Copies of this chain bind each other. A is one copy, B any other.
Amino acid sequence: MEPIYLRIFKDIETKILSGDWRPGARIPKEHDLVNDYGCSRMTVSKALTALVERGLVVRKRKTGSFVASPQIDRTVMDIQDIGTEATLAGYEHRYEILTRKIETLGPVEAAQLHGTTGAEILRIQCLHIVDGKPTAIERRIILLDTVPLARNESFATVPPAKWLLSQVPWSRAKHVIRAVSADATTARILQIERGEPCLSLIRQTWQNDRMVTYVEITHPGDRFQFAGVFHPAEKRASRR
């Protein structure tokens, strides 16, 4: 027999992960959940505590409990949004859209991303400039089937990463970090020498087994690093 608190936990988790309950939405008050499930308030509380710990829920006295805002990377390392990060670190940040076009996914890429050949995608390239220096190239694919609203979004004012966070309620992500050589194009855009080492972060994101986005962010090796302080189970990380 499955524990009641786990059933409550899973029910709410499902509602949130599926996007049924959007970030900021109100979660039934504890008293109501007690009635719904016919259990004691401690049991409800245990489920909600676990949801808070999982980062899906925030609780506020007097006002109630709410669906938290998605923070895919909080568990790993905070590379979610170069702009926000740079600002926090006290640097000026801006970005330019280099290209933006709608295509269909070719067979090679489809295989590489475990996606579907022919799926309609939005392909974007951005250059991020921090403190006046080119700091990252962002090469991104957004699956228009999963995020149809992207079709009409120019990304002129809101960076793709930030915009996506507001559109897709909660996600699963895969990260790969590599060291690569700058190819000719990359070198020119980042204003470095060809062959210089670059730090490459690839992130692929899904919601409910539907791919949301695939992005490769390439940083000059000498202008970027990932850093984090951790004591076990305190998950904050930062980058410089």
A→B interface (CB under 8 Å): 42, 53-56, 70-77, 170-181, 195-200, 219, 221, 224-235, 237
Contact = CB atoms under 8 A, between A and B. Distances in A.
Given A197-B180, A197-B181, A231 B175 contact: no
B176 A179 contact: no
Nearest to A73: B230
Contact of A174 (B196, B224, B229): B229
B197 A232 contact: no
Contacts of A176: 225-227
Given A42-B42, A195-B195, A197-B197, A175 B76 contact: no
11 contacts: A71-B232, A75-B232, A76-B77, A172-B230, A174-B229, A175-B227, A175-B228, A177-B177, A177-B199, A178-B221, A180-B197
Contacts of A181: 196-197, 221
Nearest to A178: B225
A225 B216 CA distance: 14
A54 B231 CA distance: 10
Contacts of A172: 229-231
A172 to B, nearest CB: 4
B75 A235 contact: yes
A52 B225 CA distance: 32
Contacts of A77: 76
Which interface residue of A73, A175, A177 has the most chain B CB atoms within 10 A? A177
A23 to B, nearest CB: 12
A171 B219 CA distance: 30
A221 B174 contact: no
